[in-house]
A and B are shown apart, each in its own frame.
Chain A
């Protein structure tokens, strides 16, 4: 085991705040010589709705339970606590939502931390100006910068690097709650602040960003990374869990389009020459990671509501339509379109009806050559307003529930589980941006403020 004096040790209690944290794991990490506690609270992986709506994907209670464990550990240990991408999207509203939970926890447990807040939501006007100065570039597969795209987004965030976290800690923050940040940056911040190896710090951040996902048992707690002057070590927090060279190196594959190069604000992590070896049966040492400095860029994420959907669901066990699903679904699609045309006509506006036979080919959309015993047939109407989507669904109701395979056949009734049968699903959200912005310095798009509970207590 590496001595804690020559490394900077980051306790990573979970892959996502709100996914669940064990007090025992955190205590084990503190006892093992942690210098900071850091984790991420966000992702785009659950889709655009969380950014467009500024809502957290986890429940408030789940986030509060995790944050409470970490804030009390912070107070007990005096170690800095860093949390990136608060509230899933890391937009201002999601960050403030997390702040309110933190203040509630502080109140309930009599904690008096100095909290730094790092905001990285961006205004469309500012980005339009940047685009005019050619400071914004599309990332593949996008090829253009549409100046109107910014104003069409409900929320836009820029992904921060480690610098605002470092500055907040140097200004005396006990807890840093960050808006949208790269997963790696929030974990790399303290090792970088203390002068550890850049490549090792960034690579450690990438390996630990999903907590225990780089270990044998991904669901058994988080990990500790120890970053040194030319290496880092990674160990699971839980004694029963293990990291092996295979599990650690394989994590570079996870959710990365390139397993060797990872673009970060201010540079590229290059692990082409990295080597992974077991220090003992639970700990892996990684050497040879490189960080290549590049002009500072921040990735932009933007999302917006685009349309509305109303859905209906039926279960079908009737062997006749199931025996010829391609024909049945094609007839159904035509009949529904005709019915909407006849009744709503132009009033339906720009709309879409999508039939998705779960149990047959709803996931792939590619025709299959077998007959299932039962399907769940999902009807999805997409229209410009919720009311229109619902009117389209209600117009299609009799056909969707009762259309036989052949016109002359007796009227079937498919099994619908709910009354009313139509369900208003709300808005459809879309990601509108996949761009980077070049910035002169890492703070150009970041706003930092402080809440000093100790100071307030003295006032």
Chain B
């Protein structure tokens, strides 16, 4: 089974304001997008499990014109608290890379 980096040319994460993280999966092409955008591993439940959050809080947007899947979810703790490890949320996507699609 392929991993995310086998079918995406770029994956990134970033804060969307201090209370949300947003992840963008840029699939390599329309075929990869069509084949994998609705993979089990990219459903709200899987994402919620990886990040330890409530599945109903995960937002999922297909952007077919860009071959992109966008996943947004609330931070467990708002940006900047005393246990902050990733101020920009820029490394959060790495946790998704090992998922089997």
How close is B9's CB to chain A, nearest CB, in angstroms? 12
Contact flag A431-B19 (CB < 8 Å), given A255-B14, A363-B91, A364-B95: yes
Q: Determine if B57 is an interface residue (Cβ-Cβ < 8 Å).
A: yes
Query: How many residues on the A side are at the interface (Cβ–Cβ under 8 A)?
Result: 41
A257 to B57, CA, bound (A): 12
Query: How many residues on the B side are at the interface (Cβ–Cβ under 8 A)?
Result: 34
A436 to B60, CA, bound (A): 24
Interface membership of chain A positions 238-257, coded 1 if the CB is closer than 8 angstroms to chain B and 0 otherwise: 00000000100110011111
Question: Restricting to A166-190, which residues have a CB under 8 Å from any CB of B?
Answer: none
Which residue in chain A gives the minimum CB-CB distance to B50?
A: A366
A-B contact count (CB 8 A): 100
Q: Would you call A44 and B18 a contact (CB within 8 A)?
A: yes
Question: Restricting to A280-336, which residues have a CB under 8 Å from any CB of B?
Answer: 301, 303, 306-307, 309
| Residues of chain B within 8 A of A365, CB atoms compared | 85
| Residues of chain A within 8 A of B83, CB atoms compared | 352, 354
A352 to B66, CA, bound (A): 44
Question: Restricting to A42-67, which residues have a CB under 8 Å from any CB of B?
Answer: 44-49
A48's partner among B24, B79, B94, B95 (CB-CB below 8 A) is: B79
Q: Would you call B81 and A45 a contact (CB within 8 A)?
A: no
| Residues of chain B within 8 A of A47, CB atoms compared | 18, 79-80, 84, 87
B82's partner among A140, A142, A307 (CB-CB below 8 A) is: A307
Which residue in chain B gives the minimum CB-CB distance to A275?
A: B65
Q: Determine if A379 is an interface residue (Cβ-Cβ < 8 Å).
A: no
Q: Would you call A255 and B82 a contact (CB within 8 A)?
A: no
Q: Would you call A431 and B86 a contact (CB within 8 A)?
A: no
Q: Would you call A362 and B57 a contact (CB within 8 A)?
A: no
| Residues of chain B within 8 A of A256, CB atoms compared | 16, 22
Q: Would you call B63 and A431 a contact (CB within 8 A)?
A: no
Q: Determine if B47 is an interface residue (Cβ-Cβ < 8 Å).
A: no
What are 20 contact pairs spanning A and B, CB under 8 A? A44-B18, A46-B88, A47-B80, A48-B79, A140-B57, A249-B66, A250-B66, A250-B68, A253-B68, A256-B16, A257-B16, A259-B61, A306-B82, A352-B82, A363-B86, A365-B85, A430-B78, A430-B81, A431-B19, A434-B17
Interface on A for B, CB 8 Å cutoff? 44-49, 139-142, 246, 249-250, 253-260, 301, 303, 306-307, 309, 352, 354, 356, 362-366, 380, 382, 428-431, 434
Interface on B for A, CB 8 Å cutoff? 14-20, 22, 24, 57, 59, 61, 63, 65-66, 68, 70, 72, 74-75, 78-88, 91, 94-95
